[in-house]
């Protein structure tokens, strides 16, 4: 009797799974038909994007107002999706911030593509997901990878939800998941997936498609496309035209210009192991050291208090942070790293933070960054296999509004918000009175060169603060030690 019951249960489970597969195929077929069942599609209009964990710029918003705010406008935007190849290309005219701390806008070109090799779902997911989170790419993936179906809700609306997984697995060994929300009109209104990202953990990527209409000749496309990553703005399109199965699909978009591209999402597969980092130290005083790896380094300071250590900046990567933590423990054994100060939340200055969170350190950041870092670093981390994922610790954030002094009665570190500066609205600097040392993030001074726009913005702020510093230490390693005189010389003082 038990054997018969077990056999019946297995048979029922098989039939249920088979029915779900059949239902999924019917949903996919209906959605593909509603979208015109194209082999390729192109759409155009205007767009805006932002480099991940950075700010964009335009003629009316030159200063960073917050995480991914403002975004960068893209004019004459065109996207081509070739479902046969499969491949995707998108381009448009942009204005970019000039190099070297300049706030001048210069004409540029956005070019982003997913090649047939990248669209192979056995390859890294971060390379192909931009193709598969489009409605057309999603349905292709669902048809080819055994999608399942269930009922669900999004934004208060009921949907039929198709779910499938690419062949490639996350670094943790877990499957990636892709969900597509199909409306009662058989349009794909939302596609979501997750990607392991250094700061945002299991970063939620959501693309919403609204205002579906026939742009002529059966070219069904959404009028509005909005993509968020980790809950933050990332990419928007206002679609004004679309064509289905264009005969010149292979030549609609020009070849990419040198060094063209768009800020990526992170989370990519490493291109081989990075070179080993050799940390050297510079003693600036008793219990005060600069940690560096030489040319191209992101430098940190470590400050010894009676019962703990404070690290000023955590390095731009997990590898660098691990190396700096190890060196700190050699120099100051038996003292925990209680604090780590982050100058600002751009991606090249946050990369080491997960390591310090795993150490139990509290992150000191400017108040404008509190929501971003607190949310991002406390996101589930099931797709990653890094130091923080293994420790499963939660980030502790200590926000500084304008000024905070850390002292044990002997050692003092003063932390200041510097504003207004164009680079970010959440910038901190650190001043250590005993050794007359000032550490800053991206206000780069180049001897013999005029001040860039970032340095010009900082100069009047430092003059007003009247801090008594001699040594001017950049996080981006300088070729030689720099002083207060070097800084003000560049601005003609």
Return d(Cα 220, Cα 244) in angstroms, integer: 8
What pLDDT sits at residue 265?
37
What pLDDT sits at residue 132?
98
- For helices 135-144 and 2-34, give the axis angle rounded to 10 degrees: 150
What pLDDT sits at residue 262?
42
What pLDDT sits at residue 15?
36
Q: What are the residue ranges in the chain where pLDDT is below 70?
A: 1-22, 57, 252-275
CB atoms within 10 A of CB 388: 23
- 446 backbone dihedrals φ, ψ, rounded to 5°: -115, 115
N-to-C CA span, the chain:
94
What pLDDT sits at residue 12?
40
What pLDDT sits at residue 342?
98
Which bin fits 233, alpha (ψ -120 to 50), beta or left (φ > 0)? beta
Strand partners, 88: 81, 114
Return d(Cα 222, Cα 242) in angstroms, integer: 9
Nearest by Cα to 80 from 39, 46, 108, 51: 39
Nearest by Cα to 305 from 344, 336, 270, 266: 336
What pLDDT sits at residue 17?
45
User: Would you state the structure tokens that stand for residue 243, as one six-digit string?
Assistant: 């064509």
Decide: helix, strand or coil at residue 461: helix
């Amino acid at each position: 009797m038990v054997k018969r019951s077990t056999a019946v249960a297995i048979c029922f489970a098989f039939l249920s799974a088979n029915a779900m597969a059949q239902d999924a195929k019917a949903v996919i077929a209906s959605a593909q038909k509603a979208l015109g069942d194209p082999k390729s599609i192109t759409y155009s209009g205007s767009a805006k994007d932002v480099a991940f964990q950075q700010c964009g710029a335009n003629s009316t918003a030159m200063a960073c107002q917050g995480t991914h705010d403002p975004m960068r406008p893209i004019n004459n935007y065109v996207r081509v999706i070739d479902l046969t190849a499969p491949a995707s290309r998108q381009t448009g005219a942009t204005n970019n911030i000039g190099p070297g701390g300049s706030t001048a806008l210069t004409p540029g070109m956005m070019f982003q593509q997913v090649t047939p090799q990248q669209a192979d779902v056995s390859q890294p997911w971060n390379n192909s997901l931009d193709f598969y989170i489009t409605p057309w790419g999603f349905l292709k993936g669902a048809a080819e990878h055994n999608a399942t179906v269930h009922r669900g809700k999004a934004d208060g609306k009921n949907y039929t939800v198709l779910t499938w997984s690419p062949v490639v697995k996350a670094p943790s060994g877990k499957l990636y998941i892709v969900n597509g929300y199909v409306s009662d009109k058989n349009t794909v209104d939302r596609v979501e997936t997750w990607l392991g990202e250094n700061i945002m953990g299991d970063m939620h990527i959501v693309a919403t498609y609204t205002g579906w209409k026939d742009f002529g000749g059966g070219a069904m496309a959404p009028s509005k496309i909005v993509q968020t990553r980790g809950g933050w703005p990332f990419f928007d399109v206002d679609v004004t035209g679309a064509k289905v199965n264009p005969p010149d699909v292979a030549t609609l978009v020009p070849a990419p210009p040198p060094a063209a591209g768009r800020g990526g999402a992170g989370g990519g597969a490493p291109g081989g192991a990075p070179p080993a980092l050799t940390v050297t130290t510079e003693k600036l005083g008793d219990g005060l050291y600069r940690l560096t790896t030489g040319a191209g380094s992101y430098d940190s300071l470590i400050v010894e208090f009676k019962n703990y250590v404070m690290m000023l900046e955590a390095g731009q990567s997990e590898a660098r942070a691990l190396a700096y933590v190890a060196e700190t423990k050699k120099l100051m054994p038996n003292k925990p790293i209680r604090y780590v100060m982050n100058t600002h939340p751009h991606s090249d200055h946050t990369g080491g933070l997960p390591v310090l969170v795993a150490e139990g350190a509290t992150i000191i950041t400017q108040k404008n960054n509190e929501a971003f870092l607190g949310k991002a670093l406390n996101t589930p981390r099931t797709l990653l296999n890094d130091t923080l994922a293994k420790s499963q610790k939660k980030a502790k954030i200590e926000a500084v509004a304008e000024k905070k002094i850390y002292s044990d009665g002997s050692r003092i570190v003063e932390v200041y918000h510097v504003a207004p500066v164009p680079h970010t609205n959440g910038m901190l600097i650190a001043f250590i009175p005993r050794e007359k040392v000032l550490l800053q993030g991206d206000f780069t001074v180049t001897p013999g060169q005029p001040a860039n726009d970032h340095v010009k913005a900082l100069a009047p702020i430092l003059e007003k603060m009247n801090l008594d510093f001699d040594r001017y230490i950049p996080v981006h390693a300088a070729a030689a030690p720099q002083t207060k005189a070097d800084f003000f010389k560049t601005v003609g003082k």
